[in-house]
Amino acid sequence: MSTTGKAAKTDHRKLGGALYGAKAVPEPVEVPAFDFLAVDGAGDPQRSPEFGPAVAALYAASYALKFAVRADTGTDYAVMPLEGLWSSGDPEFDALSLDSYGPGARAGWEWTLLIRQPVPYTDAQLSAALAKAAAKAGAEAAGRLRRKSFAEGSCVQVLHKGPYETEPRTVKLLHDYLHTEGLREAGRHHEIYLSDPTRTAPERRRTILRQPVS
């Protein structure tokens, strides 16, 4: 049922507590099940011809879905930040080495980009949102979008401040914490981009680095 009037906007990032408010020192966090729109790809994010269109399609679909939900139900919410699950098919990859982030070193990276969808939506609303994403970001990129729901469970996370290329220094903090606490990695490296890289200088960027553990 459509509603009229301006709805109050809910920012689910602010309601997420520690899930979107990591500290500069590693800390444990329990992550429940969330629903996402996702897209898979591979290669250096700065060189892959798939990466930019994938990001554009994710945002286009997420905003279109938000507007569809608001028009149909009156529920308004802020679009959630971009996230990424990362791994490498290169057996020589060293997540603690700054060289692993240098030119030509990321060709073996595998990524899943995500934007969390914080409110329920219908199949019809999603179909319409994907059609709008195809018109804006291209049919090929939009056609690769999919729903993905998962619960990471027990994780350790830390806030990284600065350029993405200096992340290994912060990743080492995570690894040292895991070693001290007797924990093991139990899933893909997860990043949540709290800063818009198109509007934020590299030295001012804030990124949550999260690692599922057992």
**Residue 180 DSSP label:** H
164-190 as b/e: b if 16+ CB within 10 A: eebbbebbebbbebbeeeebeeebbbb
DSSP-assigned beta bridge partners for residue 36 = 116, 148
Which tens digit of pLDDT belongs to each residue from 129-163? 999 999 999 999 999 999 999 999 999 999 999 99
DSSP-assigned beta bridge partners for residue 147 = 37
Domain coordinates of the chain in residue numbers? 9-212
Check whether domain 9-212 has CATH 3.90.1170.50, yes or no: no
Q: Which residue has the higher pLDDT, 78 or 88?
A: 78
Q: Tokens for 111?
A: 């990524």
Is residue 192 packed enough to be buried (19+ CB in 10 Å), middle (13-18) or exposed (0-12)? buried
Q: How far is CA 106 from the centre of its chain?
A: 18
- Round the average pLDDT of the chain to a whole number and report it: 92
Mean pLDDT of 70-77: 96
Residue 2: count other Cβ atoms within 10 Å of its Cβ: 8
Tell me the pLDDT band of 180, cut-offs 50, 70 and 90: very high
Report the alpha-carbon distance of residue 204 to residue 23 in Å, rounded: 15
In this prediction the pTM is: 0.92
Mean pLDDT of 99-126: 88
Which tens digit of pLDDT belongs to each residue from 36-68? 999 999 998 888 899 999 999 999 999 999 999
Mean pLDDT of 100-125: 88
13-24 as b/e: b if 16+ CB within 10 A: beebeebbebee
pLDDT at residue 92 in the model = 62
Report the alpha-carbon distance of residue 24 to residue 159 in Å, rounded: 5
Check whether 34 has a pLDDT greater than 60. yes
Which tens digit of pLDDT belongs to each residue from 17-28? 999 999 999 999
